[in-house]
Structure 1
Amino acid sequence: MIQALIFDMDGTLFQTDKILELSLDDTFEHLRSLHQWDTVTPIDTYRKIMGVPLPQVWETLLPNHSNEVREQTNAYFLERLIGNIKSGKGALYPNVKEVLRHLKENHCSIYIASNGLTEYLKAIVSYYNLDKWVTETFSIQQIESLNKSDLVKSIIKKYNITKAAVVGDRLSDIKAAKDNGFVSIGCNFDFAREDELAQADMVIDDLMELKEILPKLR
């Protein structure tokens, strides 16, 4: 019997693209004002690496900048993301609350395991009241290795989970499931890639499909 579902956040529960470009533009405009950037915002590059931990993001987007500048940029970007969330410019994917409510009513524990930073995740959970259904939200910041498989392992250990599924849109989610002996459910949403989803045990196009899948897993 499946005891729990462990969800990714960005590109799975939260439509990150609604605030991503806006927040990146804010951030790179800030860098331009400091004369640390002189060209367009690299939104396409970011989309290709969406889902990796933020330190890796800034190594990719700012390859010729110092670690100090990357850290300052990361802090500013996080500030803008949170500001845009709190001002209602983001959105959950369709049916998120209905599905989470259904899972909770059917005695399935719900967790979030995300490569997002702690304060960013708190802003989303708080704004959309997700803690009504989610037992706990885990950030990659809590794991020294910055590896999602290790993050999921920490959830297993804390809550003594033996049967679960990991739901997410990227390869790190699929690997996190497989590395821990769980079912992997790939989400064919905005940032998903066909070659990565091909490695999942099953693929969904809408979170509502989880209502039909759960009884089969049990």
Structure 2
Amino acid sequence: MSVHKLRKPEAVIFDMDGTLFETDKLLVPVHHRVFETLREEGLYERETPPVERLLSCLGMLLEDIWRQVMPDSTEAARKRADVLLLQYEREGLERGEGELYPFVEETLRELHSRGIKLFVASNGLEEYVKGVAEFKGIAPLFDGLYSAGEYETSTKVDLVARLLKDHNIQSAWMVGDRSSDVEAGNGNGLQTIGCAYATYGRASEIEGADVLINDFRELLPLLEQ
């Protein structure tokens, strides 16, 4: 754990994919199903792009993800991929696929019991973000689940600004694994914590965070500094 002195926050805001949720356990089979369906429907003729390309885009807005994953596709294919991705993710969650990172649930419960307000701010779709929290049993611990899909924000900076204003939060930590999370914190005057245990982003993306953690439980001693 790399430590700067942090102020105790009123709230902690978490990214979802690569921070709370180990997304690849759900996304790898979903990715293959999406492209099989696109080919069956005549919307995409090439081979399935490498799933690593999709995983490396986690944290981006969905429209930007598809431009990276299948740059040669039509807008119709990308819009259909949005629908299929959400449908197959939801079906996977209902079957119990995908996992929270180790110690996430226990740590969130401890933070909640200490009176810290908890939020999610994700660039994902509303139904997906709320679905993960619901099916993994952590939804009741949060004061708000914010997604770009629900609030139609173009950046995570804007999404977090909306969250802070809605709940009149004066001090918070932003916790995530991508540069967009660090930017969202910095852009709103928050202290930032980078999750170095996630494998989707490059380590360089979270170099600017105030603190780096290698285990989710490390959030608890940070509160006691």
With the shorter chain as reference, the TM-score category is over 0.9
Structure-1 separation of matches of 2:84 and 2:144: 26
Letter in 1 for 2:61: P
CA shift for structure 1 position 132:
2.2
CA shift for structure 1 position 65:
2.3
Q: Do the aligned partners of 1:143 and 1:150 also contact (CA within 8 Å) in 2?
A: no
Counterpart residue number, 1:185: 193
Q: Do the aligned partners of 1:7 and 1:168 also contact (CA within 8 Å) in 2?
A: yes
Where do 1:97-112 residues align within 5 Å? 97-112=105-120
1:122-167 residue CA offsets vs partner (Å, 9 max, x unmatched): 2111112212211110001234442001100001101111110000
Aligned length, in residue pairs: 216
CA shift for structure 1 position 44:
2.2
Q: Secondary structure at the match of 1:190?
A: coil
Q: Secondary structure at the match of 2:22?
A: coil
**1:199 lines up with 2:208 in the alignment:** yes
Where do 1:121-132 residues align within 5 Å? 121-132=129-140
Structure-1 separation of matches of 2:220 and 2:172: 15
1:90-113 residue CA offsets vs partner (Å, 9 max, x unmatched): 110111111111111111000000
**1:13 lines up with 2:11 in the alignment:** no
Q: Do the aligned partners of 1:54 and 1:74 also contact (CA within 8 Å) in 2?
A: yes
Where do 1:19-168 residues align within 5 Å? 19-35=26-42, 36-168=44-176
Identity rate of aligned residues, in percent? 34
Indicate the larger mover: 52-61 or 139-148: 139-148
1:21-72 residue CA offsets vs partner (Å, 9 max, x unmatched): 1100000111222342231333122122221011111122222222122111
Counterpart residue number, 1:210: 219
Q: Secondary structure at the match of 2:201?
A: coil
Letter in 2 for 1:204: I
Indicate the larger mover: 88-97 or 142-151: 142-151
Structure-1 separation of matches of 2:14 and 2:114: 17
Which consecutive aligned stretches of 4+ in structure 1 deviate over 4 angstroms post-superposition?
A: none
Counterpart residue number, 2:182: 174
1:171-194 residue CA offsets vs partner (Å, 9 max, x unmatched): 000110111110100001121321
- Which runs of no fewer than 5 residues in structure 2 stay unpaired? 1-7
Structure-1 separation of matches of 2:24 and 2:77: 24
CA RMSD of aligned residues (A): 1.3
Indicate the larger mover: 40-49 or 100-109: 40-49
